[in-house]
Structure 1
């Protein structure tokens, strides 16, 4: 709990900090990377270049301050969980929070100048350390649950045993541990971090990919869409590396499974809604349910450019045969037939939330681009789905509106 004196100071200064939030976090990253360039190995350089990372950090700090001062009644727990899982997947340590705090407070002083009195600096330092302590505690629990000893590395070597072309610009990688040890199971909706070493001064880069295979199998599977730059933006560094450079027999460094989202929540009707590569957690969910509760009522709604771009499309007949109450509703932007031997409703165009088959008591899992999920979530909320029954997985540092 924020002290009474700090609450008054933070409440009074929140508008100024919010107005300069991205300038502060931008300066923070400049300072930190200049002093500790090795930390570039932990951060997505694409998100740094686009400004998405500094925007996400500014939003998180301001939102937490609003939470502490009572300025916002929005639930904070899900945001903390999302940050903690992402940090754990990167191997963030408790000691790194001291370094971050030092550079963040220095950045506030540099941007706001003499307006930052000792009282203001102390109040915002208290906000930061309350946030840091909450995250450190959550991350320690996650490391324990994942079997990562205190101070130990999260990384484990995995060998690629199969590379499968799934669709246009989409490949799956089947992996087994190099050490021959057990393959951890996972809850559908979890992701792993993949660390690769790039050429030149790019160093290590890390990305998160959902586990798309069957939980409990003797291997893991990740499915990677190659990111091609649009409008002058560069191609994705890691996805391009995986597509062009990684073959059967190569090794990759992977983290344990993390992620705050459960794609199979509840035991009643389940609605899985995805777009593009966002289908990956839904595939793990279908594999798991086929093994455990094949009679569960499931609706899979998926949007894609066309059938050729629809990853894992060829797996749907097998899964449909094992899940007799699975209903498929597909939206393709361009004309395309349904998968062979699968009864599926195919509509041309983009998804209309009002036309999604919906049971009144369904749990919902969304995964896809942020605009897509915002549209679908808004439509389902209007149709009466309670907010607590809509889970979503975001690729990247963003959050849904109102989440």
Structure 2
């Protein structure tokens, strides 16, 4: 437990963190990688270059400071981050290193304003928060290893099938190279893929949602080639997967992780909303619902630029066609002439509240969504305007968590 004096000091720094948080975390990562370049084998280099990781950490530090007197309020955030840490291989010995450089960055950025009392209070608070992460992650490591078909660290999987799903998305079907059993997973979870790319100094690790259903005897990931957006750095890993990895090749995988999962104890209608490659966890949820709750009302809504960018459409339409309680609806931002002639989409332009209300028809449902951050902000705002209860809104960021409000 933290002393009241420590709590008071930490809370007094909240306004400062709001202003200087990103500068602190940017300097933190600089210090960390200068002193421990080996940790570059864990972190996503592209997220570092784009500033996403720095912003996510700044948000997490700010939330911890603002809730330092009621840390249970940020427990869901802790669990979400802990899932990613476990899938990446973050261990207890990393926390003192992080603490040293985080405190050093605070001191550097704030200068004389970072008094000994403030640094001391943050050192004490960091110890408590780090202890919470270590405890949660220890249980996750144990569960991942001891569950039926589970394993520790990264396990080699063979690509048994590679299939192009759209102009930019390709699926990889993965089976254990040792021929053994594989761990079950919750629809919505992901695996980490570790790659040593020829010519690269560092190992790359990326998380990809599982787009198949549990119990299939294999894992499926559906990967978007990320160098197709002007102005953004090429997706080194996704390009390598698309161009170089072939059937028969081996990829090291972590056991499934993640807390963005379908509530299968709920019998109310469920709404699955996705944009772009954000449909991958939704397809897993849809398949699971078809197998376990075929009478439950399910509305599947997906937004894509056009038909050529729309992955897994035939698969979803087949599942929906076999289940009278299911429906699927497509929103195309810039449909092609071929799309128009075929009449394959239901709305042109952007997903909005009016379309959601017309398509879903009820607020008494569970809403799950995933996609690019601007898309997610639009969906989140629409659901709030509609009056959807906060506990019925579930979403997942691909990469570091951002802010939707």
Q: Same fold (TM over 0.5)?
A: yes
Pairing partner for 2:370 from 364, 367, 374? 367
Q: Deviations over 1:310-344 (max 9, x none)?
A: 11012123212332211111101133678999x97
Instruction: Check the 8 A contact 2:166/2:310 in 1, yes or no.
Output: yes
Instruction: Check the 8 A contact 2:167/2:309 in 1, yes or no.
Output: yes
1:193 is matched with: 192
2:389 is matched with: 386
Structure 1 position 74, deviation (Å):
10
Structure 1 position 189, deviation (Å):
0.4
Secondary structure of the corresponding residue to residue 182 of structure 1 = coil
CA distance in 2, matches of 1:232, 1:333: 20
Higher mean Cα deviation, 48-57 or 247-256? 48-57
Instruction: Check the 8 A contact 2:169/2:224 in 1, yes or no.
Output: yes
1:64 pairs with 2:67: no
Q: Residues 306-317 of structure 1: matches in 2 within 5 Å? A: 306-317=306-317
Q: 1:94 to 1:339 in 2, by over 3 A?
A: farther
Q: Deviations over 1:90-131 (max 9, x none)?
A: 011111101111111122222222332221111011221222
1:377 is matched with: 380
1:123 is matched with: 121
Secondary structure of the corresponding residue to residue 243 of structure 1 = helix
Pairing partner for 2:97 from 86, 96, 99? 99
1:249 pairs with 2:252: no
1:27 pairs with 2:27: yes
CA distance in 2, matches of 1:148, 1:218: 18
Structure 1 position 148, deviation (Å):
5.9
Secondary structure of the corresponding residue to residue 165 of structure 2 = strand
Secondary structure of the corresponding residue to residue 237 of structure 2 = helix
Cα RMSD, aligned residues only: 2.3
Q: 1:221 to 1:232 in 2, by over 3 A?
A: same
CA distance in 2, matches of 1:375, 1:400: 12
2:141 is matched with: 143
CA distance in 1, matches of 2:223, 2:340: 21
For structure 1, list consecutive stretches of 5 or more residues without a partner in the other structure.
Answer: none
Secondary structure of the corresponding residue to residue 212 of structure 2 = coil
1:277 is matched with: 277
Instruction: Provide TM-score, normalisation by structure 2.
Output: 0.92
Q: Residues 115-264 of structure 1: matches in 2 within 5 Å? A: 115-147=113-145, 153-228=152-227, 230-264=229-263
Structure 1 position 264, deviation (Å):
4.3
Instruction: Check the 8 A contact 2:55/2:402 in 1, yes or no.
Output: no
1:290 pairs with 2:293: no
Instruction: Check the 8 A contact 2:33/2:39 in 1, yes or no.
Output: yes
CA distance in 1, matches of 2:340, 2:311: 11
CA distance in 2, matches of 1:301, 1:392: 14
Instruction: Check the 8 A contact 1:193/1:209 in 2, yes or no.
Output: yes
Q: 1:339 to 1:249 in 2, by over 3 A?
A: farther
CA distance in 2, matches of 1:111, 1:235: 31
Q: 1:325 to 1:340 in 2, by over 3 A?
A: farther
CA distance in 2, matches of 1:113, 1:384: 45
For structure 2, list consecutive stretches of 5 or more residues without a partner in the other structure.
Answer: none
Instruction: Provide TM-score, normalisation by structure 1.
Output: 0.93
CA distance in 2, matches of 1:6, 1:375: 39
Secondary structure of the corresponding residue to residue 259 of structure 2 = coil
CA distance in 2, matches of 1:205, 1:88: 16
Secondary structure of the corresponding residue to residue 106 of structure 1 = helix
1:324 is matched with: 324
Q: Residues 12-23 of structure 1: matches in 2 within 5 Å? A: 12-23=12-23
Instruction: Check the 8 A contact 1:329/1:344 in 2, yes or no.
Output: no
